[in-house]
């Protein structure tokens, strides 16, 4: 389709807004905010995340991520920022995502949405893979679980919950959109 209609599905409308929450992982704990908005005429969902590291497991990062003491310290100071861009493949209906973060990681994801749950399989530029499950718990609450296999066969698991702090209306259409 040359000019697809904007994303207006229930999932997209639910996601748009400001969210805050906290999470835990084998590598540590953190808290943060996510700003989610529609962009480019409603064709893409843009998610900007900013997290503060509240607790860190340096031994885990050294063992599984080969981090140096300096990198661990710098990561704790800088926190974690991400930019994610999502849309729906017009032909397959599959979720397509791209993720960029302040660790200079780039990932491409594909997935599905089904009854209040989105599952995206990510492939990172470094070659590793992960799976993120985002679950709609209520109109103003979501749960996230991300599982990343480590080279030694263990799996790092991140878990978190976010609460809506501000709802944002979808942008007004322009030029007959």
Whether residue 171 lies inside any domain: the answer is no
On whether residue 5 sits in a domain, the answer given is: no
Note the pTM of the prediction, 2 decimals.
0.88
- We report the CATH number of the domain holding residue 58 as 2.40.128.20
Q: Which domain holds residue 60?
A: 10-166
Write the pLDDT tens digit of every residue in 112-140: 999 899 999 999 988 889 999 999 999 99
Q: Do the domain assignments include residue 177? A: no
Specify if 107 maps to a domain. Answer: yes
Is residue 156 domain-resident?
yes
Say how many domains are in the chain: 1
Asked if the model's pLDDT at residue 172 lies above 90, the reply is no
Does pLDDT of 166 surpass 50?
yes
For the beta carbon of residue 28, count every other beta carbon within 10 angstroms.
19
Q: What pLDDT digit, counting tens, does each position of 23-42 carry?
A: 999 999 999 999 999 999 99
């Amino acid at each position: 389709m040359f000019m697809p209609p904007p994303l207006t599905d229930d999932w997209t409308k639910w996601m748009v807004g400001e969210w805050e929450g906290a999470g835990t992982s084998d590598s540590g704990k953190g808290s943060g905010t996510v700003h989610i908005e529609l962009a480019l005429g409603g064709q893409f969902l843009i998610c900007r995340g900013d997290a503060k590291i509240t607790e860190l497991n340096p031994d885990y990062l050294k063992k599984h991520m080969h981090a140096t003491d300096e990198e661990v310290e710098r990561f704790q100071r800088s926190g974690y920022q991400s930019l994610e861009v999502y849309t729906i493949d017009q032909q397959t209906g599959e979720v397509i995502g791209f993720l960029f973060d302040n660790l200079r990681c780039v990932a491409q994801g594909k997935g599905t949405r089904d009854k209040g749950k989105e599952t995206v399989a990510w492939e990172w530029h470094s070659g590793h893979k992960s799976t993120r499950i985002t679950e709609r718990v209520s109109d103003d609450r979501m749960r996230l679980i991300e599982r990343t296999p480590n080279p030694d066969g263990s799996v790092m698991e991140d878990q978190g919950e976010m609460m809506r702090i501000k709802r944002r209306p979808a942008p007004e259409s322009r030029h007959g959109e």
